[in-house]
Every structure is written in C-alpha cells, then in structure tokens.
Amino acid sequence: MKAVQYRTVGAAPEVVTVPDPEPGPGQVMLKVTAAGVCHSDIAVMSRPAEQIPFPLPLTLGHEGVGTVAALGDGVSGLSVGDSVAVYGPWGCGTCVKCAEGKENYCLRAKELGIAPPGLGSPGAMAEYMIVDDPRHLVPLGGLDPVQAVPLTDAGLTPYHAIKRSLPKLVPGATAVVIGTGGLGHVAIQLLRAMTAVRVIALDVAEDKLALARAVGAHETVLSDRDAAAKVRELTGGVGAQVVLDFVGAPPTVATAGAAAAIDSDVTIVGLGGGALPVGFGSLPYNTTVTSPYWGSRSELAEVLDLARAGSVEVHVETYTLDEAPLAYERLHHGRINVRAVILPNG
Ligand code: NAD
Ligand code: ZN
Ligand code: ZN
C-alpha cells in the first residue's frame, strides 16, 4: 500500500510503498478515509536527529478516521464497515490515569514503548492503519469523516485546554486565543459553544483574523508587541481570565503572560519553544501556567457530540495521498485554509 513517511532527518516527507499491514491479536485494521495534517508534525520534523522521539522511517498522521477493514483475534464489539475516529494519545490502559480515560497522561506509555499513531507508531497517512486496541476507536455516528478527522486533535486538544478552565470562563470573563489556525479556529468555536465569555483572537495576518471573526471571535488584534496592551484596553485594564496560546513561541508566551488578569489561567498549547517564568512579580497574582497535552477518551466523545450538535465546524482543504508532501510544505509556509486533510483512498 501507499504511505506518507518521514524517512530522512531534515528532508520532506515522502510517498512510498510499504507492505500491507495485518491486524495482530486484539488489534483493528482500518481502511483510512481521512488523515489530518498537524503543525506538530512540522515541529517534530524540524528537530535534529537526537531530539526525534521515534525511529525512522515513520508513517505520519496522528489524526485519523476510517472504516473497520479487519478485526484481529479476540476483538469484539466492532463490525467490518463501521465508521470510526481514532483516539490518538494511546496509553497502557491500566495505570491510574488510563483508568480515568486520561490516556494522554498515561504514566507508563514511555516505559512500555507505547506511542501514538503518526508520532511513533505507523500513522493514518496510508491506505490502511493498525489501531492497537478497540478502546482507541470512537464511532463517528453520522459525522462526515473529512470534516470530523481534525476533531481528533485540532478539536480535542483545545477542548481539553478549555474544559479545565471552565470555572474561570464565567459570563463577563474574557478568553484570548493566540494563533487562529487549525487548533485556534476550533478553540474559538468551542469557547462560543461552551461558555458566554468574550473571545479576543490574535494572529499575524488580516485574513486569519477575518476567519477568526467569521467563526465567532468578538474582537481581533494583530499579534505584535502591542497586542497585550490592546487586550488590556479591551478589558478595561483587567486582562483576560484565560489565555490560550496555540503558537507557544517566545513572543507569544510573553504576550500571553502580559495579557493575563489576576487569578487567571495561561495555557501554552503550541510547541513554539517559549517558556513563561512563574514567580512573585513576574505574573499577576495567582495566575496558573500550564502546558496540556492532547485530551482524554471521554473528551473526544464530547467533542464529536458537539460537532453532531452543529456547534463546531472545521474548515478543511483536501489533498490526495500523493499531494501530502505539498500539504506539509504549504502548512509550513502558512498557506493552508485552515486544516489540510489527506484522503488516502481517494
Ligand atoms: P497552524 O499552523 O494551523 O496554526 C498556527 C496559527 O498560528 C496560524 O494561524 C499562524 O498564522 C499563527 N501564528 C504564527 N505565529 C504567530 C504569532 N507570533 N502570533 C499569533 N499567531 C501566530 O498550527 P496548528 O496545527 O493549529 O498547531 C498549533 C500549535 O499547537 C503547534 O505548535 C502545534 O505543534 C501545537 N499542538 C499542540 C498539541 C498539544 O497537545 N499540546 C496538540 C496539537 C498541536
Ligand atoms: Zn497534532
Ligand atoms: Zn496508562
């Protein structure tokens, strides 16, 4: 079958032919309908060899949906042809975090060599993929697979970040979204669907800010060195109760800290390498700073429910499997509108 692989450190991903997979005992094989292209892949592919957390070559794609093509021995509860989304942050299934459904915070994944598809295990950018356990599949329940595939990461990750801050997202509060791309444009919609806060969106280009307004941002601000001051102005000097940074670069985390209110949450989701010092005098009193990872299994089910209710709609642009390297190149240059989705089986 054809697959998109990261093969050589520093080189672009390549379309190659690999052996067809077969599901082992307890595993499920999917015929992949759609695979999302995430900026995290670019972050990982930009690293030097010693910082790449998995052996190469690797089939990419950590956002995947497909139909069940074959069941390994002992698998029940699924039928061939079922349309499912893949829950990506695979854990061990038995530690206390996994028992809570928070496999994204599995305590033993690293020690056991368990890695998400597309970030260590063979991913969704191939005609077929193997899912290690049926618990990592969530029924699509009538959702359009192409529209739904980014929800498994670009939806789930902001949902997880927002949900933990819900106590601060009361009516009258302000949430700032920095970076309104794949994750950020879903975050704006989630904030509007889950809360009654005012949403201020920051990005570097006017077309991105126009999209942010179209998906529900009340105010938009150009992300430059004056951005935090503008957020303060828009909030009567108070700042934002929650700041979600989907860039995470040194200048944006600085903006995030400077835009935060007293007793606020600053949540750094982007992998841009920035860090925000915490200590008396560096941030407003009782500001928490966190860097969450992906989301839980139950949260993925909740995100899909929100999409079924019509509360979130991902803006997607589709590519064939052969065009996947082009999609990565375009994402790298900020030229995707807004989430690229690869269709491995046409
Ligand atoms: P994307 O490329 O689709 O969107 C990034 C957006 O940020 C773009 O709209 C871009 O114009 C904007 N941007 C760039 N520089 C900016 C700046 N200085 N100020 C404001 N906006 C700026 O990327 P994506 O796929 O949505 O991913 C966003 C980030 O989240 C990436 O760093 C990715 O690696 C990370 N990520 C983290 C997790 C996690 O679990 N923590 C999960 C998925 C993605
Ligand atoms: Zn991702
Ligand atoms: Zn675990």
User: In this prediction, what percent of the chain has a pLDDT beyond 90?
Assistant: 100
Using alpha carbons, select from 55, 64, 60, 54 the residue that is nearest to residue 5.
Answer: 60
Q: Which two tokens stand for residue 317?
A: 């642009």
Residue located nearest, by CA, to atom 27 of ligand 1: 39
DSSP annotation of 76 reads -
Q: Is 323 helix (H, G, I), strand (E, B) or coil?
A: coil
Name residue 281's amino acid.
G
Predicted pLDDT at 163: 98
Instruction: For residue 186, give the ligand nearest its CA.
Output: 1
- Euclidean distance between CA atoms 337 and 208, whole angstroms: 9
> Which ranges constitute the DSSP H helices of 174-249?
182-194, 206-214, 227-234
Q: How are the residues of the chain apportioned to helix, strand and coil, as percentages rounded to the nearest 5?
A: 30, 25, 45
- Euclidean distance between CA atoms 45 and 86, whole angstroms: 22
Q: Which residues contact 57 (CB under 8 A, 6 or more apart)?
A: 5, 6, 7, 16
Give the pLDDT confidence of 150-188 residue by residue, as tens digits.
999 999 999 999 999 999 999 999 999 999 999 999 999
Distance from Cα 132 to the centre of ligand 2, integer Å: 19
Q: Which two tokens stand for residue 134?
A: 């049926």
Residue located nearest, by CA, to atom 36 of ligand 1: 270
**For the sheet containing 58-59, what is the strand order?**
14-17, 2-6, 58-59
Specify whether the CB–CB gap between 177 and 231 falls below 8 A: no
- The per-residue pLDDT of the chain, averaged, comes to 98
Q: Which two tokens stand for residue 242?
A: 């929650």
Q: What is the average pLDDT across 186-213?
A: 98
Q: What is the CA radius of gyration of the chain?
A: 20
Domains of the chain: 2-153+295-343 (3.90.180.10), 156-290 (3.40.50.720)
Distance from Cα 135 to the centre of ligand 1, integer Å: 29
Specify whether the CB–CB gap between 137 and 74 falls below 8 A: no
C-alpha atoms less than 13 angstroms from C-alpha of 301 in its C-beta half-sphere? 10
> Which ranges constitute the DSSP H helices of 237-334?
250-259, 297-308, 324-332
First to last CA, the chain: 13
Name residue 109's amino acid.
A
Distance from Cα 253 to the centre of ligand 3, integer Å: 30
Residue located nearest, by CA, to atom 32 of ligand 1: 270
Predicted pLDDT at 202: 98
Predicted pLDDT at 146: 98
Q: Report the pocket of ligand 1 as residue ranges, CB < 6 Å.
A: 38-40, 43, 153-154, 157, 178-184, 202-205, 208, 223, 246-249, 251-252, 269-272, 293-294, 331, 334
Give the pLDDT confidence of 72-109 residue by residue, as tens digits.
999 999 999 999 999 999 999 999 999 999 999 999 99
Using alpha carbons, select from 137, 144, 141, 152 the residue that is nearest to residue 61.
Answer: 152
Give the pLDDT confidence of 280-338 residue by residue, as tens digits.
999 999 999 999 999 999 999 999 999 999 999 999 999 999 999 999 999 999 999 99
Backbone torsion region of residue 224, taken as left when φ is above 0, otherwise alpha when ψ lies between -120 and 50, otherwise beta: beta
Residue 232 CA to chain centroid, in angstroms?
28
| 58 bridge partner residues | 6
- Euclidean distance between CA atoms 33 and 208, whole angstroms: 28
DSSP annotation of 226 reads T
Give the pLDDT confidence of 114-147 residue by residue, as tens digits.
999 999 999 999 999 999 999 999 999 999 999 9
Residue 326 CB neighbour total at 10 angstroms: 13
